[in-house]
Structure 1
Amino acid sequence: MIIVTTTQSDILLDYSINRLKVVNGTLRRNGDTMNFNGKVVLITGGSSGIGAGTAEYLAKLGATLALTGRNAENLKTTIEKCITSEDTPRPISIVGDITNESDAKMIIEKVIETFGRLDVLINNAGIIERGTIENTSLGQYDRVMNTNVRAMYHLTMLAVPHLIASKGNIVNVSSVNGMRSFPGVLAYNISKSAVDQFTRCVALELAAKGVRCNSINPGVIVTDIHRRGGMNDDEYNKFLEHSRTTHALGRPGNVEETAASIAFLASDLASFITAAQLPVDGGRHAMCPR
């Protein structure tokens, strides 16, 4: 007599195998693709850098986009780049300052008024200011914390009821500076550590309601954020050159690589991932360079 026993792992393996299929030569799970058709995605800081690049990336995957930022012209430019065909859902731009409480409320209201739902919130807006404990003013500290932490907290709080309704998810753009300690950008480091803790706590609080929350933690990505933070061209070029030694892969990253990581976490491919910090940093978080 043969006795066959079925374990929980056997059931899970059978379930997983039965969900696998080949699509255009790529092995995928049934129903789980990088497809955002019908999904409404709100991106803060959508007028430049990682936010703009993520908008363009998600537009190619069929997302319906709401982009917010303070620069109307830059938002317009981003939207034009997102519209690549007649079938592309037309994004909306919402000019506003997320550190302003009434603007934050207006942003969420505009998204719901226009699309009737919200599926993904990408908290990307952020600033960096240089300074140590000896010369970072309280004004600098407040600007960084208000933009990078308080505004994210408030906008997420306003978005959560709609994300619960859609069983949506949140992706917070943090930094390798939240995972490791670096001198010279003290307020920024503190703010990104706070973002990582915020991500984990929100993930646990909303898990039972079907809402995921994750962060990506980029290393040096080639954008204008460091110039806006006070670097001149010569300093920035030296900074990028130094990044060859501070990143294990020997180079800084680019916006598209970061956008692809955000898209993954926001997609159904990441349906069993929450409370995660995804380093997109060429291995910098594992190194100890100065």
Structure 2
Amino acid sequence: MDFTGKVVLITGASAGIGASCALHFAKLSADLALVGRNVKNLNKIAEQCTKASGKEPLIIIADISVEENIARIIKETIDKYERLDVLVNNAGIVIMATFMDDIKNFDRLVATNIRGPYLLTQQAIPHLIESKGNVVNVSSIVSSVPIPAMMPYCMTKAALDMFTKCVALEVAPKGVRVNSVNPGPVNTELFKRAGFDEERNKGIFAMMAATMPLKKYAHGEDVAKLVAFLASDSASCITGSRYEVDCGLHLGTPVLDSKN
């Protein structure tokens, strides 16, 4: 795959899956606009991208849960590159909360995980129509696998999946594709940012790996490669689809084990 001359806008690019996507697209020669809240981390990722591609990415410090930032993100990207080919809606937060917890948890999750991508995609679509570009939403396997301890988070990802389908259907006649990638556990610092210490974070991943059909968990690079494929011309006939990268988690536990 080659993204030479293509402009790729990635939110949540300062860490985790977003950072992996940034580095992978840089290696594929894309022109990058990287959005994030952590200035230090974003600069670090941008430097790595520059080393990988020889091209310096555009850095945009912004929180997509703040509506005033949305138009600025698109404006700065277009001012710099005069086009937009791919939008990767990756930014997201996790809050461990159940149905009975404070509704403010739900509101915070919706603001970042759904409302932000909704508004940013609205602003991006006119430019994507011009370039016949596409959107890749980074959702989650929990959009279809209920976890009561993460109920509001699960709800936002389920909403993002339906957003993907509805927008894909609406903009397909205009030549724009919209797809989602739904990772299972990925070895990032997402749980640390949710409040877990290093020891508990390792314990969670070890426990999850043991329950996976493939007995492992994914890494950021695994997700980034799929995002890039869906954003590429190789996926020109794919839209409104969701792709699990979860080491088989969505398959569940067999009702009847062949060993018994």
Q: What TM-score, normalized to structure 1?
A: 0.85
Give the one of 51, 54, 66 matched to 1:100.
66
Q: CA deviation at 1:181?
A: 1.2
Q: CA deviation at 1:61?
A: 0.4
Give the one of 123, 135, 143 matched to 1:178.
143
Letter in 2 for 1:98: I
Aligned residue in 2 for 1:23: none
Give the one of 11, 18, 21 matched to 1:54.
21
Asked if 1:194 corresponds to 2:159, the answer is yes
Contact kept? 1:54, 1:262, Cα under 8 Å = yes
Cα distance in 2, alignment partners of residues 61 and 88 from structure 1 = 11
Cα distance in 2, alignment partners of residues 257 and 107 from structure 1 = 27
Letter in 1 for 2:175: G
**Number of aligned positions between the proteins:** 254
Asked if 1:79 corresponds to 2:46, the answer is yes
Letter in 1 for 2:93: I
Cα distance in 1, alignment partners of residues 150 and 253 from structure 2 = 17
Asked if 1:263 corresponds to 2:228, the answer is yes
Bigger CA drift: 213-222 or 181-190? Answer: 181-190
Across the aligned residues of Structure 1 and Structure 2, the Cα RMSD in angstroms comes to: 1.2
Letter in 1 for 2:28: L
Give the one of 41, 45, 55 matched to 1:89.
55
Contact kept? 2:181, 2:243, Cα under 8 Å = yes
Aligned residue in 1 for 2:78: 112
Q: CA deviation at 1:153?
A: 0.2
Aligned residue in 1 for 2:204: 239
Aligned residue in 1 for 2:216: 251
Letter in 2 for 1:247: M
Letter in 2 for 1:248: P
Q: What TM-score, normalized to structure 2?
A: 0.95
Aligned residue in 2 for 1:212: 177
Q: CA deviation at 1:58?
A: 0.5
Cα distance in 1, alignment partners of residues 154 and 56 from structure 2 = 36
Specify the SS of the correspondent of 1:215: strand
Q: Deviations over 1:205-236 (max 9, x none)?
A: 01000000000000000101111112222321
Aligned residue in 2 for 1:162: 127
Q: Deviations over 1:144-185 (max 9, x none)?
A: 111000011000001010001100000000000012112210
Contact kept? 1:246, 1:287, Cα under 8 Å = no
Contact kept? 1:176, 1:281, Cα under 8 Å = yes
Cα distance in 2, alignment partners of residues 75 and 170 from structure 1 = 22
Cα distance in 2, alignment partners of residues 288 and 235 from structure 1 = 24
Cα distance in 1, alignment partners of residues 204 and 36 from structure 2 = 27
* Residues 267-282 of structure 1: pairs in structure 2 closer than 5 A: 267-282=232-247
Contact kept? 1:221, 1:253, Cα under 8 Å = yes
Q: Percent of counterpart pairs with the same letter?
A: 45
Give the one of 208, 225, 250 matched to 1:285.
250
Contact kept? 1:203, 1:275, Cα under 8 Å = yes
Structure 2: 5+ residue stretches without partners: 255-260
Q: Look at both structures and tell me which one has the larger radius of gyration over its CA atoms.
A: 1
